[in-house]
Each structure stands twice: as C-alpha cells, then as structure tokens.
DNA sequence: GCCAACGTTGGC
DNA sequence: GCCAACGTTGGC
C-alpha cells in the first residue's frame, strides 16, 4: 500500500471541503502536469493513503489524510469542451490526464507546517521538499510514519 | 504582489 | 532536438 501527498489550495478546495461530507468521495482532478499524471496513471491505487497539503495560504501545511478509493482513471474534464481543463489533444482512446477519487480520513489536530517539515531530519529527502511545485508526490513508508508522529504533537 | 524555479511551447 | 520565450506555481 502506498502513501502520497496531494497539494491543494484551501480557498479553492481544502480539507474542510473533504470532511464536510465524510462519506462522500471527491474526485481529485484537473491535474495537468506530466510527472503528477504519471503517478496518477501508473501508481496510485485504491487503498493508498494520501496526505493533504495546503498551499497558497498561511501557514502552508500538511493538514490531514484521505484514502484513495479508486485506482487512477482518465480525468473526465479533459473531454468536456465546456471545461477550462478541456484538452483537444486528448482522446478517449488515448487519454492524456488522470484523476483519482478520495475520501476524507482525518484532519490533524496539529497541522504540520512546511517550516516544521523542513526542519525534521527524517523528512529531508521528501519529494515535497525537493520538488515543491509537484502537486502529486510519493511519500515513503518511513516518511509517512514520521508525519503521523509529528501530527500527534504541536511543534 | 514579487520573484525564483520550473514546465511548456514552438520556431528553426 | 535545441533553446528562447513564455506561462505557472508557490513561498514569502
């Protein structure tokens, strides 16, 4: 079972939107970056755990967890001519973009700020810190355990 | 709002 | 296939 980190801007869609209807799933879509796409298409599997990270806010932080309830599948928005995310170069035969459905699991009592992540030695190799612009990134099992430990106590 | 880093596009 | 120009992201 894998661990991932998904980034989102909370003023658009954040952990509060996920937890609002805890039994519903949310489609994590509109991702238009090839590296992130490759993870969604090839590696994200139903049952994987997903850390949710809030960007473009203060403080930026890992704020909770969700669970992937599907494998990655073609993002419908790429076929919707009315969508801003419509991609004329994509086809049903050869979809270019992928998405995944997730369900809220937990909202951390103590969000883990980017500053705290950066000063935690066990996390120095984290993809989030190495490639800060990548919106879907892998988390190793060791990193996941460290993040869970940090979430249990304030900084 | 600024700016650095990074990703994408398109002419050649 | 290179690379300059341009667009986007995201921390601050």
Nearest of A72, A78, A74, A79 to residue A39 by alpha carbon: A72
CA of A33 to C1' of C5 (A): 20
Cα A17 → chain centroid? 14
Give the model's pLDDT for residue A154.
87
Q: Which residue is nearest to nucleotide C11 (CA to C1')?
A: A56
Question: pTM of the prediction?
Answer: 0.95
Residues with CB under 7 A from strand B: A 33-35, 131, 133-134
Q: Is the pLDDT of residue A22 over 90?
A: no
Using the CB atoms, write b or e for A95-123: b if 16+ within 10 Å. Answer: bebbbbbbbbbbbbeebbbbebbeebeeb
Q: Is the pLDDT of residue A21 over 90?
A: no
Please give the Cα distance from A116 to A77 (Å, whole number).
35
Asked if residue A59 has a cis previous peptide bond (ω within 30° of 0), the answer is yes
- Three-state secondary-structure class, residue A55: coil
The confidence band for A5, taking pLDDT boundaries of 50, 70 and 90, is very high
């Amino acid at each position: 079972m894998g661990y991932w980190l998904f980034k989102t801007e909370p003023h658009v869609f954040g952990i509060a939107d996920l937890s609002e209807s805890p039994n519903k799933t949310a489609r994590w879509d509109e991702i238009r970056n090839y590296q992130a796409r490759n993870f969604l298409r090839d590696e994200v599997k139903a049952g994987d755990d997903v850390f949710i990270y809030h960007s473009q806010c203060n403080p930026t932080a890992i704020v909770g967890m969700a669970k992937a309830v599907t494998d990655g599948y073609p993002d419908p928005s790429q076929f919707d001519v009315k969508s801003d995310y419509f991609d004329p170069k994509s086809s049903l035969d050869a979809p270019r973009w992928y998405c995944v459905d997730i369900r809220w699991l937990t909202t951390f009592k103590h969000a883990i700020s980017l500053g705290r992540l950066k000063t935690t030695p066990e996390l120095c190799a984290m993809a989030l810190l190495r490639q800060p612009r990548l919106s879907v990134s892998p988390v190793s099992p060791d990193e996941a355990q460290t993040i869970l430990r940090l979430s249990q106590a304030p900084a």
